[in-house]
A and B are shown apart, each in its own frame.
Chain A
Amino acid sequence: MTILIILVPIALLLGFVGLVAFVWSLKAGQYDDMDGASVRVLMDDDVEDRKP
């Protein structure tokens, strides 16, 4: 059962990374415009830039 000493911290660490990622995305304002985000991904404004 000594393997637990490695596995449990790893499990907790992974969960903690997820938590930090979420709090970061919240701070970065990624949830401010939920409807817009879903349509912006389909916009091809970056293609226009490449045209001469």
Chain B
Amino acid sequence: MRDQVDLSGFVREGEDGMRRLDLALDGVTCAACIGEIETAMGRLDGVTGARLNYTNSRLALAWKTPSFNPADAVERLRTMGYRAYPFEIAEAEARDSEQAKHLLRCLAVAGFAAMNVMLLSVSVWAGNVSDITPETRDMFHWISALIAIPAAAFSGRPFFVSAWNAVKRGSLNMDVPISLGIILALGMSLVETALSNHHAYFDSALMLIFFLLTGRFMEQAMRRRTRAVAGNLAALRSPVAARIEADGSIVQVPTARLAVGDIILVRPGERAPADGLVVAGASDVDESIVTGETQRRSVAEGASIYSGTMNFSGALRVRVEAAGEGSFLSEIERLLEKAGAERSGYVGLAERASRIYAPVVHVTALATAIGWLIAGASAHDSIIIAIAVLIITCPCALALAVPAVHVVASGALFRAGVLLNGGHAIERLAEADTAVFDKTGTLTLLEPRAANAGDYPPALVEKAARLARSSRHPLARALAMSAPHGALFDDACESAGEGVAAVVEGMEARLGSAAFCGVGAERPDGAGHDASAIYFRHGDETAMFLVRQTLRADAVETIAALKRAGMEIEIVSGDNEQATRAVAEALGVARWTARARPADKVARLEELRADGRRALMVGDGFNDAPALAAAHVSLSPITAADVAQASADAVFLGERLAPVAQALAISRKARGLMRENLLIAVVYNAIAVPLAIAGLVTPLIAAVAMSGSSLIVTANALRAAPRSEEAADVDAGARAPATQAGAPA
């Protein structure tokens, strides 16, 4: 029997009396799911609206009657084979989505204005070489001004605001020359129009805004997509805790709503949702996510356990403690603070370029004006030429050079199953020359698996896995991961400590101990001391599954690929020597350290740094968090502890290790393209600036040159995406994430 889930904290009540709830769903894999889910939800009593967002797998439920319990919807979804978890849109994600809408509105206005002004400008350019009358030209220029100035004021705000903030801080960023270019181009055009002159730059200014906004929007859209996936995974990972109320009843509450002093129940097969003290019960716990140690620890009344610890044998009652008074967590926090500070000083390629670029441009424009004045030109002409220099050097290509590659590369990384945390991760990843791996949960899978599931027919394994999903026992949970989708058997009934049984296809199926299934308990020779067996019988078919911690399926190839890419590999594990050596030997890694405490890991990384090496740290546990923050760049699997994920530069999804090698390859390629793009921008300026200084730039040349350089840079950036056959291979990995992430729940 399942306990009622208390979702009231997540229900939003609207002014119209409607109640709404957002659920993150796991298992939405095909378009047919949309109809299935929406129809099933619509049939529930009281539900007035159910809409599934297929892009981010979120279901929005709406109902009016207060008597409707949303937990029924969650339960209905569970029986259909979807896991649903209450979901709250994180503040960062909400802000991003608001910003994206603002950018899109700006983009629409800039696009509309640019097209219409271009329509008028082309007529003027054609007319200037044929028979346009000055009156018509002036009218066209005035209409252009009427469209361009309000449109630029509206759609240029993202640049103006950022530039103004930079100037207020007394610094220069790329947006300062951009804003200056836009404002000067518009101002000068207005003066030229008033003087009835031939040329106006309204079109250039608007095209510039349009191109730059496009780049910015794309970059933002990529980040938003990553955030949405990360948000879902967070909801799926640590949803609810079983809180014991004062009257002894058990209520499932969201982990975030736990308070100090609450008593929670941690059943076998569950992870502790918070740090706490055991107040009743005794059990073996697996702390591999905390320390990397795979040997289970016995705990009893009075022992403290950390959040993320897997409870193996007996139910525990745990009192939630405030801050981690256990010296372990506070030590981690202290190390994290120190490590984080060292890295924040990193300056990306784009910042370095703009720090040099902005002053150079402003000085060049000033020098041009003074030079022409000395050469005897009128003040009006000198200023016009200086402004032309500012417009043509307006860092369109430069501003797009790095972000465009970021967009394409992070898209490629996303498809490879890597979600970026920090903006500079790509550049730092490309610089890495040493890879330091944690063992437990990183090179091996965190959750034990049925190691020999491949030896049995898939249909049999699927039946066993579906039956296993009805059980809370850790071995059954491990087996359930062999076939992550598929509905439960309705009448499955669990006998505690023995197994679970159900009627399948008219015959009884049993899963559990050898005695429960009535099969012989002999183990094959190669089973090893670290494996536990679980038995399955369905009619005449029998199976024995060996459950143990396994290396990620492609760990050997990935390590080999990394070595080929010129990386030095090391393993630094918190686990015991025997286990670490076995993994190191299996992977052919010569350098390994066992029983490393968090401080030892950081010390090892600092040694590497002192040797002039740039280390990529890959790890998942609490104990890895300081090392992840201290490394030059760091990656975490998505199953990692929260604190480890937060301090890593990127997380990777799925059960394979390949994303690590792919991330490295994509980043290296991307950094090459960034450099190429910056070079293109420099070459463009080398050609355009002398023309502008010589006073030869007409609006037509400015418009063509600026758009042309932007297009070249953007087209070059597209090469950062892997070719289609590589991408297809990679896609398979990216589809796995949600299933994997649900595992610890």
> What residues make up the interface of A, taking CB atoms closer than 8 Å to B?
1, 4, 8, 11-12, 15-16, 18-19, 22-23, 26, 31-36, 39-40, 42-43, 45
Q: Are B55 and A8 in contact (CB under 8 A)?
A: no
Distance from A13 Cβ to chain B, minimum over Cβ atoms (Å): 10
Distance from B70 Cβ to chain A, minimum over Cβ atoms (Å): 21
B586 within 8 A of A: no
Q: Are B52 and A36 in contact (CB under 8 A)?
A: yes
B328 within 8 A of A: no
Distance from A15 Cβ to chain B, minimum over Cβ atoms (Å): 5
A18, B101: Cα distance in complex, Å: 17
Q: Are A45 and B35 in contact (CB under 8 A)?
A: yes
Contact of A35 among B38, B39, B54, B139 (CB under 8 A): B54
Chain A residues whose C-beta falls within 8 Å of the C-beta of B54 in the assembled complex? 33, 35-36, 39-40
A34, B53: Cα distance in complex, Å: 9
Q: Are A12 and B136 in contact (CB under 8 A)?
A: no
Q: Are B34 and A12 in contact (CB under 8 A)?
A: no
Q: Are A26 and B55 in contact (CB under 8 A)?
A: no
Distance from A1 Cβ to chain B, minimum over Cβ atoms (Å): 6
A36, B53: Cα distance in complex, Å: 6
Contact of A39 among B34, B38, B39 (CB under 8 A): B34
Q: Are B35 and A23 in contact (CB under 8 A)?
A: no
State which residues 274-298 of B face A: CB under 8 Å.
Answer: none
Distance from B566 Cβ to chain A, minimum over Cβ atoms (Å): 38
Q: Are A33 and B55 in contact (CB under 8 A)?
A: yes
Q: Are A15 and B112 in contact (CB under 8 A)?
A: yes
Chain A residues whose C-beta falls within 8 Å of the C-beta of B55 in the assembled complex? 32-36
Q: Are B39 and A45 in contact (CB under 8 A)?
A: yes
Chain B residues whose C-beta falls within 8 Å of the C-beta of A45 in the assembled complex? 35, 38-39
A35, B39: Cα distance in complex, Å: 19
Nearest residue, chain B, Cβ from A34: B55
A37, B101: Cα distance in complex, Å: 19
Chain A residues whose C-beta falls within 8 Å of the C-beta of B31 in the assembled complex? 39, 42-43
A42, B30: Cα distance in complex, Å: 13
Contact of A19 among B39, B52, B108, B139 (CB under 8 A): B108
B104 within 8 A of A: yes
Q: Are A11 and B133 in contact (CB under 8 A)?
A: no
Q: Return the 4 tightest CB-CB contacts between A and B, nearest first.
A: A36-B54, A39-B31, A19-B112, A35-B55
Task: Kindly state the interface size class of chain B when it binds its partner.
Answer: 20 to 34
B115 within 8 A of A: yes
A12, B148: Cα distance in complex, Å: 12
24 intermolecular pairs with C-beta atoms under 8 Å apart: A1-B133, A8-B120, A11-B116, A11-B119, A12-B143, A15-B115, A22-B108, A23-B108, A26-B104, A26-B105, A32-B53, A32-B55, A33-B53, A33-B54, A33-B56, A35-B55, A36-B53, A36-B54, A39-B31, A39-B34, A40-B34, A40-B54, A43-B34, A45-B38
Chain A residues whose C-beta falls within 8 Å of the C-beta of B112 in the assembled complex? 15-16, 18-19
Distance from A42 Cβ to chain B, minimum over Cβ atoms (Å): 7
Chain B residues whose C-beta falls within 8 Å of the C-beta of A22 in the assembled complex? 108
A32, B147: Cα distance in complex, Å: 30
B109 within 8 A of A: yes
Q: Are B35 and A43 in contact (CB under 8 A)?
A: yes
A42, B34: Cα distance in complex, Å: 11
Contact of A1 among B53, B109, B116, B136 (CB under 8 A): B136
- Most chain B CB within 10 A, of A16, A19, A43, is at A19
Nearest residue, chain A, Cβ from B39: A45
Nearest residue, chain A, Cβ from B108: A22
Chain A residues whose C-beta falls within 8 Å of the C-beta of B109 in the assembled complex? 19
Nearest residue, chain B, Cβ from A26: B104
Distance from A8 Cβ to chain B, minimum over Cβ atoms (Å): 7
State which residues 171-216 of B face A: CB under 8 Å.
Answer: none
Chain B residues whose C-beta falls within 8 Å of the C-beta of A31 in the assembled complex? 104
Distance from A4 Cβ to chain B, minimum over Cβ atoms (Å): 7
Contact of A12 among B39, B105, B116 (CB under 8 A): B116
Chain B residues whose C-beta falls within 8 Å of the C-beta of A16 in the assembled complex? 112
User: With A36-B53, A43-B35, A45-B39 known to touch, is A15 a contact of B101 (CB < 8 Å)?
Assistant: no
State which residues 46-60 of B face A: CB under 8 Å.
Answer: 52-56
State which residues 36-87 of B face A: CB under 8 Å.
Answer: 38-39, 52-56
Chain A residues whose C-beta falls within 8 Å of the C-beta of B39 in the assembled complex? 45
Nearest residue, chain A, Cβ from B56: A33
Distance from B134 Cβ to chain A, minimum over Cβ atoms (Å): 12
Chain A residues whose C-beta falls within 8 Å of the C-beta of B35 in the assembled complex? 43, 45
Chain A residues whose C-beta falls within 8 Å of the C-beta of B53 in the assembled complex? 32-33, 36
A15, B119: Cα distance in complex, Å: 11
Chain A residues whose C-beta falls within 8 Å of the C-beta of B133 in the assembled complex? 1
State which residues 1-49 of B face A: CB under 8 Å.
Answer: 31, 34-35, 38-39
Nearest residue, chain B, Cβ from A48: B39
Nearest residue, chain B, Cβ from A21: B108
- Most chain A CB within 10 A, of B56, B108, B133, is at B108
A42, B276: Cα distance in complex, Å: 52
Chain B residues whose C-beta falls within 8 Å of the C-beta of A33 in the assembled complex? 53-56
Distance from A46 Cβ to chain B, minimum over Cβ atoms (Å): 11
B107-119: contact bitstring with A at CB < 8 Å (1 yes, 0 no)?
0110010011001
Chain A residues whose C-beta falls within 8 Å of the C-beta of B101 in the assembled complex? 26
Beyond the given pairs A4-B136, A15-B116, A26-B108, 6 more chain A to chain B contacts, judged by CB atoms under 8 angstroms and listed by A's residue number, are A1-B136, A18-B112, A23-B105, A26-B104, A26-B105, A35-B54
Chain A residues whose C-beta falls within 8 Å of the C-beta of B115 in the assembled complex? 15
- Most chain B CB within 10 A, of A26, A34, A36, is at A36
Nearest residue, chain A, Cβ from B143: A8
A37, B104: Cα distance in complex, Å: 19
A26, B105: Cα distance in complex, Å: 8
User: With A1-B136, A18-B112, A45-B35 known to touch, is A12 a contact of B147 (CB < 8 Å)?
Assistant: yes
Distance from B126 Cβ to chain A, minimum over Cβ atoms (Å): 14
Chain B residues whose C-beta falls within 8 Å of the C-beta of A8 in the assembled complex? 120, 143
A31, B34: Cα distance in complex, Å: 17
Chain A residues whose C-beta falls within 8 Å of the C-beta of B34 in the assembled complex? 36, 39-40, 43
Distance from A10 Cβ to chain B, minimum over Cβ atoms (Å): 12
